[in-house]
Amino acid sequence: MEMSMYSALFGALSTETRLNISANNLANVNTTGYKRDRVTFEDTFARYAHDYHIDPRGDLRQKQLLPRADLIAKPRLAMQQIDFSQGALTATNNPLDMAIQGPGFFKVAAPGGAYYTRSGAFHRSSEGMLVNDQDMPVLGGGGPIQLPEGRIALDGTGTIYVDGAQVGQVDVVTVQNPETLQKYGANLYMPQSGATVQEGQAQAGRTSVAQGFLEKPNVEVVEEMVSMIETQRTFEAYQKVISSSNELDTKAIRVGTDRG
């Protein structure tokens, strides 16, 4: 089989992955606190077996016995990453809606442990706890936050006041190694299997909490649409390469059969 067919096949698989990622980003363009996915590429090298032989020449003027090393560069998908860059804030005028400006995450409790999120679409449950839109308790001081009835106010550190009295403070933490996080659903994050998340306290001056706002996804619709069109055209080009390579192989087999 032609090497071009292998290259086109892996290229088509890579572009298919890119297309799926762009489609998922666009599907979550209205998901509060969603962070877009992206992919990175790297060049890998396929070496022929003779490239690993040590040149036995004892003198540079001796005739070269082995052919020169042949390297074939093949771009491949290196990894899929989450882009944690800041999204725009939109006003809701809901006193329990919160948005983080700067690096950091809220923490919510779940049966499997604490999850991280950038979505501050919170509300008061029937039990009087502050919960997110999936009814998971929002953590403050390592535990759930109880909200009595009254007028709610919030300062930039995440401290909650009800009728002027402090009732709790929302946990806002930074993650020193965000590459260890993986998505759980649309806007929750959890540690990858076997990974340890390094938490830190949000730094004053870099991170603040805004009351009555929500963070929009950091997805640029036009950019994603252009990426999808480009990826589709690239996929079609790889398909043509596969077809052309198949035709060449078929002709070579026929020629060999006729001569035989």
Q: Does pLDDT of 164 surpass 80?
A: yes
Distance, CA of 241 to CA of 6 (rounded, Å): 10
Rounded to the nearest angstrom, the gap between the alpha carbon of residue 119 and the centroid of all alpha carbons in its chain is 16
Q: Does pLDDT of 56 surpass 60?
A: no
Of the two residues 155 and 4, the one the predictor is more confident about is 155
Of the two residues 256 and 54, the one the predictor is more confident about is 256
In 24-49, which positions are buried (b, 16+ CB within 10 angstroms) versus exposed (e)?
bbbebeebbbbbbbeeeeeeeeeeee
- Is 145 contained in some domain? yes
Mean pLDDT, the chain, as a whole number?
Answer: 84
Last residue of a domain, one of 199, 215, 231: 215
Residues 93 and 202 in one domain: yes
Q: Does pLDDT of 138 surpass 90?
A: yes
Q: Does pLDDT of 170 surpass 90?
A: yes
Q: pLDDT confidence of 8, banded at 50, 70, 90?
A: confident
Total domains, the chain? 2
Question: What pLDDT sits at residue 48?
Answer: 47
The beta strand positions in the chain, using DSSP E, are 37-47, 71-82, 89-91, 98-101, 105-110, 113-117, 123-124, 130-131, 139-140, 143-144, 152-154, 159-162, 165-169, 172-175, 181-184, 188-191, 199-201, 208-211, 213-215
Question: What pLDDT sits at residue 13?
Answer: 81
Question: What pLDDT sits at residue 245?
Answer: 84
pTM: 0.77
The upper half-sphere exposure of residue 256, i.e. CA atoms within 13 Å in the direction of its Cβ, equals 6
Question: What pLDDT sits at residue 195?
Answer: 87
Q: pLDDT confidence of 50, banded at 50, 70, 90?
A: very low
Residues 174 and 233 in one domain: no
Please write the tens of the pLDDT for every residue from 59-111.
545 555 445 555 455 556 667 889 999 999 999 989 999 999 999 999 999 88
- Tell me the residue range of the domain where 168 lies: 89-215
Residues 125 and 232 in one domain: no
